[in-house]
């Protein structure tokens, strides 16, 4: 199964991919609006032939925005799972520090956050299927 991990933001969306058990940062796309985000994400899913999209769900008002995004993607025929994204950005920054990525490059950490969101899902999914 081919997965796309998503860390949604109003201006930038981090993406990560996986063909199995390991998530990898993929890219960051910039968006101008929710409508633009839906269009660009759907395009990435179709071009990359992803089977499953895993989107990190934030809390609060942003969570409602992401829920709207998820509903629109599902209506367009995309299989979407929502997962908790708590601490994904903090963990991404910590991982980037451990990998000696320069501070200037750490400012755009969205793809790394997406890989953490996706990896957490894969780890839980594999745990449940191997039990």
Q: Which residues of 78-96 are buried (b: 16+ CB within 10 A; e: fewer)?
A: bebebbebeebbebbbebb
Please state the domain count of the chain: 1
What is the per-residue pLDDT across 99-119, written as a single tens digit (0 to 9) for each?
Answer: 676 666 545 578 888 988 999
Domain that holds residue 83: 3-130
User: What is the C-alpha to C-alpha distance for residues 80 and 129, in angstroms, rounded to an integer?
Assistant: 19
pLDDT at site 131: 43
Instruction: Indicate the pTM of the whole model.
Output: 0.83
- Measured distance CA(120)–CA(85) in Å, rounded: 9
pLDDT of residue 11: 93
- Give the lowest-confidence range in 13-22, 86-95, 107-116: 86-95
Which CATH number does the domain housing residue 52 bear?
A: 3.30.420.140
Q: Look at 88 and 33; give whichever has higher pLDDT.
A: 33
């Amino acid at each position: 199964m081919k997965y796309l991990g998503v860390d949604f933001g109003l201006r930038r969306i981090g993406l990560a991919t996986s063909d199995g058990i390991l998530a990898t940062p993929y890219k960051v796309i910039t968006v101008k609006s929710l409508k633009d985000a839906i269009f660009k994400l759907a395009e990435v899913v179709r071009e990359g032939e992803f089977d499953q999209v895993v989107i990190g769900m934030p809390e609060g008002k942003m969570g409602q925005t992401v829920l709207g995004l998820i509903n629109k993607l599902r209506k367009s025929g995309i299989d979407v799972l929502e997962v908790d994204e708590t601490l994904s950005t903090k963990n991404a920054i910590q991982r980037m520090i451990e990998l000696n990525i320069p501070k200037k490059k750490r400012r755009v950490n969205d793809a790394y956050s997406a890989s953490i969101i996706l990896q957490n899902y894969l780890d839980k999914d594999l745990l449940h299927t191997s039990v």
